[in-house]
Structure 1
Amino acid sequence: MTKTTGRHLVIIGSGVAGLSAALEAVRLGSQVTVLTKDALGDGNSKLAQGGLSAVTVQGVAAGDSVQAHVADTLKAGAGHCGVNAVQLMCAAAGELVATLEDYAVNFDANADGSYQLGLEAAHSAHRILHVDGDATGAGLIDALRQAVRLAHKAGQLEIIEYALANGLEFADDQLRGVSYLHDDQELVLETDAVLLATGGLGSLFTASTNPAGATADGIGLAARAGAVIADAEFIQFHPTLVDPLKYPQAGMISEAVRGEGAILVTESGDRFMPAIHELAELAPRDVVARAIHGQNLAGHRVFLDARAVEQKQGAGFLTRRFPSISARLKAAGLDLAAQPIEVVAAQHYWMGGIHTDTKGRSSVPGLYAAGECANTMVHGANRLASNSLLEAMVFARQAVRAMITDQAGRVCDTSQLQLSELPPAKNDAPLELHQLQTLASEHLGVHRTGQGLQSLRSVLESSAPVAQGRRELAELTNLWITARIITQGAIRRTSSLGAHHRLDAQDGQQAAIRYGFRLAQTKRSDNRTQSKEINA
């Protein structure tokens, strides 16, 4: 490896955040090692269907603006976003798109060379860029991974694959290394700073759009190191996962399909979204997910019907516009153009995470975070569609710049955060993955109640994760820690906000009636919640 000046950085994870960070570190001439628990580029990012939200020069010419993107993001986030972070992200989108094109990302274009801009829920303008229709994540990963491989071949960075980070090493209050499992050995990699870019927590739930590797690894690492975990209660559920019990390999159907005009109906053909929200099927994701789940609780099945879109646009339109989705559905014996597809709400994205500032700094010196495992305050209580890829890459690049230049001991400001610390677990009863998934799906799902959350907390506090294999146990422990943090945050926030919906609160009860089912009302209060895991 070519010797360079500056600090040695370790990036844990290789989705769009990790890969973007690695390339920025190379550009700035820093020594960097990418540590990833599976193959380079595996994970959630490559599954992203919707696209990349970005206001470019072309977008401005079409009547959109950065401030309109900011306003849409703040509105979707239910007033819980960090305004400065949102403004930074939206303003940086144009430069990011240009950088991605330098790395050979080819965004879909019209015949005149202009971007094909899509519309998704809660956006006020067409500003979603795509790659190969519905394969934006895969397109980004392919291009960034190839650039990282080339940098590795040129001796500009190191890559360690199939290595699960399972601990952070400190000396004299400074982060000095990362311990990791590789070929069933525990090794230590020395470093000056670490960026956690490990993705989400989908394996905590029975139904999730995430791959199996989404096991909250970064949260577990950060929490055990004493980092502040913020807004943990805000978990986004995607409205339209093809029923996983009937079609386990069919996957999710992008929101962009509804953006093209698909509607949601019950088994009797009744359309229910117009009565719930003025934007109907294009309402924010939390609203649509609750509506679908509410129909399920009321005894109805819900279907996504895109047949009218095909009829209007002409035969073959849906296959051309959504090739990956169409291929997966065809493999399951389904046809989006010919029949309504049964869907359910499923865990999709976590707005909470390791609390960071706009430079990616956590509350632990030398520890940074970006992507889904980080909470930059951009998404607030509910993420705006297609903002995740943008946020991950913008703040990953910001973090690398800070990692190179920060003085020792620099951390983000947490003085305004209200922390709820967790008591030590009793570790009495063994807890396996399927048991944790069942509990989380029941009590941390689309709708929550105080009674259910208290019951879940009691179970988690008296449990001890058990699994076969060192990697499996490490992953389950990370999920267990994260579940405890989320539960504590959800208990403290006794009113509904964004993706956190309390049926036993007054606002939740009113929404339940609107969605077609009821639950007894209980006393409410209101707290802003951040959680910090101790003595895990």
Structure 2
Amino acid sequence: MSVNVPEAILDALTDVEMPRLPPERGATETMRVGGWDIPVHRHGCVVVGSGAAGLRAAVELRRRGCDVAVVSQSAWGGTSACSGSDKQTLHTANTADRGDDLKAMARAIRAGGAMDADTAYVEAVGSARAMASLQYLGLPLPQDRFGGTLRYQTDHDEVGRATSCGPRTSRLMVKVLAEEAIRLGIPLLNQTTAVRILTAGSGAARHALGILAIRPRHRSEANPLGLVLLECAALVLAAGGPGELYRDSVYPNGCFGSLGLALEAGIDLVNLTESQFGIGTRREGFPWNLSGTYVQALPHIYSLDQSGAEHHFLADYYRSTRELASNVFRKGYQWPFHATRMLDFGSSLVDLAIHRETSAGRRVFMDFNRNPLPVPGSAPFGLDDLDEDARSYLATAGATQALPIERLRHMNPLAIELYRRYKIDIAAEPLEFAVNNQHMNGGIAVDTWGRTSLAGCYAVGEAAGTHGVTRPGGAALNAGQVFGTRAAEDIAARGLAAPAAGGIAAAAEEGVAAIRATLRPESPLGLPKIRESVQARMSEHAGMICDGPGVASALAEARALNAEIEARGIASGRAAEAARALQWRQMALASEAVLAALDHFIAQGGGSRGARAIIAADGEAVPRGRAGALEDYRFRTERAAQRGEQIHLRREDGAIRITTRPNRPFDEDAKSFFERDWPDWLTGRIYEPGGG
């Protein structure tokens, strides 16, 4: 039996129309800086980024009476609003059958290691509140007839804490939060690219003063770059992850994130060794993750060589048709590449096989009109000849139709409708895809309130490096909502969001001078050259397959590039290119930082973990294909002790400094007591180091 969902319902969950921006407020004054006349906006808090996490922080700040504004490079154009998968997951508390178990959820969130236990518990406790408030704002999460939220199993989630309202879940989150921000009258400066964090003081007294940004509408003879100055007492970085860092990426184009901004400002970063890689369509067309029912529908996967000949390449890796099909199915809830799943003919052998095909110049496709072809010498494909997890799932879902496209249409018609919106009809033609970079688990180091190492500066969403090595699928959406709320609570409770009162002139002069030093029309370094250099280096040496010599060589090249940029600047022939030139300067810094962290990790004996395999001739593990060992991919296994620590990094005096520290603990046996603990809440001591 097929589900017959009316077209109007599919349209509403696929074509999510975003709200119109309200008229903008003008600048409060103009300041003469470096010989230019720069408009000035003053607010208690400025949020950089208009995705789900940034809007959550802004909404919660305004609800607490704070003066807050949002700046966005492209409103509703970032990762939250424009990316996802067929079931874009919101990971929340509540196990499949036993009710809320926040400690168990916290353990699942931090299970991969290199994550603070108190942060994991904060995310677990805050998840129910985050989901309930989104539902209150109108997020259409599915329910059963008794009001229970429908849930399913996802990556690194063994009990089913995932829920979804379709492939546009995060876009719908942005929509309801944007509507609330507009209702609350929060000003949003669109087409505004933050290019420099301004600070004052030194040592422990160093603090954020605001940002310099570029707005094309402000370009004039008196302000040739279109600079704008935003002064604030509190700054929230919520501009997402470094999507432009990799050539092979599923991020929307133009996502630069906040890592480079933070590096330039000397802010601590953490866990830059940890990213996620998995199958998705190429960013040259419509970038989208191929998890969930795309693979659970069991399409035929094949490659084409340069002559157009078709190759059933997965048959070279799996010993039987049943084993092949069952592991394609498992990519639905084991979507990210994981080194250990290359072993024992597991699901990440699919990723490795695809990686090898594309590295050899072949193009890889899914065909939803063909079932998986048999492995030579093995039985033909059959739905009754799958491993138990795959067979029972499809039977329970009622997905027993003859062809993959029919099974997909039954389980998730939105998955088909989504690609059709972008002129790709997967019901009629094969879908090209590859293994791509999808998410940075590391980022800016924060405490349990979202505070960074720079006083007055916070980081939330993918900008914040809270995730450790692995995370349950969708936990990033949850973390952004929880920490957006937490940062707002801390800023409001500590009175940081009072309107800024001036005193930024000296920092602004320094910032403008630094921008001018980078933008040099005579420089031989143009944007295409820097982009190609950074993205190729990262994709080829810092992807899911790494090796020590390759990372060390790439790091040397990244350092040389940054030294050249420092000495010669970046060619920016037109004012319109200025913002992009400064962002690529930041991407070059972020690239060096990631490679420096990886080089340190490998040099310390770091093994394969999360979404990276560290290839080494003396590695203890080797994946096997149908014909035998794949010795070229022998890898180091994970070092268990390294799960208990994190790699921290900051840029000082032009050099990157790396340290490690143990994960912060959490006492699961500690119990609160109302009369004893209430005063800490009433007096604000919960916001102090140590929690009161």
Aligned with 2:188: secondary structure?
A: strand
Could you report, residue by residue, the CA deviation over 1:222-265 in whole angstroms, capped at 9, with x for unpaired residues? 1111111111111111x221255xxx324324422268554785
Work out the CA distance in 1 between the residues paired with 2:608 and 2:433: 24
Residue 650 of structure 2 corresponds to 532
State which of 46, 70, 80 in structure 2 corresponds to 1:10.
Answer: 46
After superposition, residues 464-475 of structure 1 pair within 5 angstroms as 464=564, 466=570, 468=572, 469-475=577-583
Residue 416 of structure 1 corresponds to none
Does the 8 Å contact 2:58/2:70 carry over to 1?
yes
Does the 8 Å contact 1:284/1:384 carry over to 2?
no
**Corresponding position: 1:462 with 2:498:** no
Residue 375 of structure 2 corresponds to none
Could you report, residue by residue, the CA deviation over 1:163-198 in whole angstroms, capped at 9, with x for unpaired residues? 111112223333222111112411211111101001
Residue 336 of structure 1 deviates from its aligned partner by: 4.8
Structure 1 residues 484, 395: CA separation in 2 closer, same or farther (over 3 Å shift)? same
**Corresponding position: 1:224 with 2:264:** yes
Aligned with 1:177: secondary structure?
A: strand
**Corresponding position: 1:318 with 2:358:** no
Does the 8 Å contact 1:251/1:328 carry over to 2?
no
Residue 139 of structure 1 deviates from its aligned partner by: 1.1
Does the 8 Å contact 1:265/1:303 carry over to 2?
yes
Unaligned runs of 5+ in 1: 2-6, 409-424
Structure 1 residues 126, 261: CA separation in 2 closer, same or farther (over 3 Å shift)? farther
After superposition, residues 325-364 of structure 1 pair within 5 angstroms as 325-330=415-420, 336=426, 341-364=431-454
Residue 511 of structure 1 deviates from its aligned partner by: 4.6
Residue 380 of structure 1 deviates from its aligned partner by: 1.2
After superposition, residues 114-513 of structure 1 pair within 5 angstroms as 114-131=148-165, 133-152=166-185, 157-172=186-201, 173-183=206-216, 184-216=225-257, 218-237=258-277, 239-243=278-282, 248-257=284-293, 260=296, 262=298, 265=301, 267-268=311-312, 270=314, 280-281=330-331, 282-283=333-334, 285-287=336-338, 291-297=350-356, 304=366, 312=400, 318-319=408-409, 321-330=411-420, 336=426, 341-376=431-466, 379-406=467-494, 430=525, 431-463=529-561, 464=564, 466=570, 468=572, 469-494=577-602, 495-504=607-616, 506-507=618-619, 510-511=622-623
Does the 8 Å contact 2:614/2:635 carry over to 1?
no
State which of 72, 79, 83 in structure 2 corresponds to 1:36.
Answer: 72
Work out the CA distance in 1 between the residues paired with 2:532 and 2:459: 28
Structure 1 residues 243, 158: CA separation in 2 closer, same or farther (over 3 Å shift)? closer
Larger CA deviation: 93-102 vs 260-269: 260-269
- Matched-pair identity in %: 20
TM-score normalised over the length of structure 2: 0.65
Unaligned runs of 5+ in 2: 1-24, 26-42, 217-224, 303-310, 339-346, 372-382, 384-393, 497-517, 655-692
Larger CA deviation: 274-283 vs 438-447: 274-283
Aligned residue type for 1:139: L
Could you report, residue by residue, the CA deviation over 1:34-82 in whole angstroms, capped at 9, with x for unpaired residues? 111112x3200122332201124xx56556743443333233x2x2222
Structure 1 residues 38, 259: CA separation in 2 closer, same or farther (over 3 Å shift)? same
Residue 322 of structure 1 deviates from its aligned partner by: 4.0
Residue 387 of structure 1 deviates from its aligned partner by: 0.8
Aligned residue type for 2:312: S
Residue 419 of structure 1 corresponds to none
Work out the CA distance in 2 between the residues paired with 1:321 and 1:137: 20
Could you report, residue by residue, the CA deviation over 1:456-498 in whole angstroms, capped at 9, with x for unpaired residues? 1121112245354111101101111100000000101112222
Aligned residue type for 1:292: D
Aligned with 2:196: secondary structure?
A: strand
Residue 55 of structure 1 corresponds to 93
Work out the CA distance in 2 between the residues paired with 1:169 and 1:331: 42
Could you report, residue by residue, the CA deviation over 1:356-411 in whole angstroms, capped at 9, with x for unpaired residues? 011001111111101111112xx211232111100111011111111223488xxx
Does the 8 Å contact 2:211/2:229 carry over to 1?
yes
State which of 62, 82, 85 in structure 2 corresponds to 1:26.
Answer: 62
Work out the CA distance in 2 between the residues paired with 1:294 and 1:440: 20
Work out the CA distance in 2 between the residues paired with 1:524 and 1:106: 42
Work out the CA distance in 2 between the residues paired with 1:255 and 1:38: 27
Structure 1 residues 331, 194: CA separation in 2 closer, same or farther (over 3 Å shift)? closer
Could you report, residue by residue, the CA deviation over 1:137-170 in whole angstroms, capped at 9, with x for unpaired residues? 1111111111111112xxxx32111111111222
Larger CA deviation: 509-518 vs 344-353: 509-518
Work out the CA distance in 1 between the residues paired with 2:470 and 2:163: 21
Residue 436 of structure 1 deviates from its aligned partner by: 1.5
Structure 1 residues 340, 384: CA separation in 2 closer, same or farther (over 3 Å shift)? farther
Could you report, residue by residue, the CA deviation over 1:65-123 in whole angstroms, capped at 9, with x for unpaired residues? 43443333233x2x222222112211221111111112111112345543232322321
Aligned residue type for 1:297: R
Work out the CA distance in 2 between the residues paired with 1:452 and 1:368: 34
Larger CA deviation: 384-393 vs 252-261: 252-261
Aligned with 2:652: secondary structure?
A: coil
Does the 8 Å contact 1:24/1:397 carry over to 2?
yes
